[in-house]
Amino acid sequence: MIARPRPRSDHDLDLNLDLDLNHRARLRHVGVLINFLVLMTLLFGGLAQTRSVSPRIAWPLAIGCAAVAMVLAIIRYSRSKRQ
């Protein structure tokens, strides 16, 4: 027997609206985090180049920030394409 979809109530629609707003807020926060990580990548890269901070410390930090920012950007892009 094929199950029929249950009728939607107003409560379901309100729940979907809340989830959509939470999703948008989370995406906004991820964008801010990506921007911050890119800024930190440039900062640590610049500090390593000028030798203001030891390059043995600054370059791995810059590469780590860049890698995390890239992964977050890829995840955000793939999720936006699904919708």
pLDDT in tens, 18-53: 556 666 666 678 899 999 999 999 999 999 999 999
Write out the residue range of the structural domain in which residue 36 sits: 28-82
- Asked, for residue 5, whether it belongs to a domain, the answer is no
Q: Residue 32 corresponds to which amino acid? A: V
- Asked, for residue 18, whether it belongs to a domain, the answer is no
Question: So what's the pLDDT on residue 80?
Answer: 82
- Asked, for residue 11, whether it belongs to a domain, the answer is no
- Asked, for residue 17, whether it belongs to a domain, the answer is no
> How many domains would you assign to the chain?
1
Q: Average model confidence (pLDDT) for the chain? A: 83
- Asked, for residue 21, whether it belongs to a domain, the answer is no
CA dist., res. 44 & res. 50, Å (int): 10
3-class SS shares of the chain: helix, strand, coil, % to 5: 80, 0, 20
Question: So what's the pLDDT on residue 41?
Answer: 98
Question: So what's the pLDDT on residue 40?
Answer: 97
Give the closest residue to 52 by CA, choosing from 70, 38, 63, 61: 61
- Asked, for residue 50, whether it belongs to a domain, the answer is yes
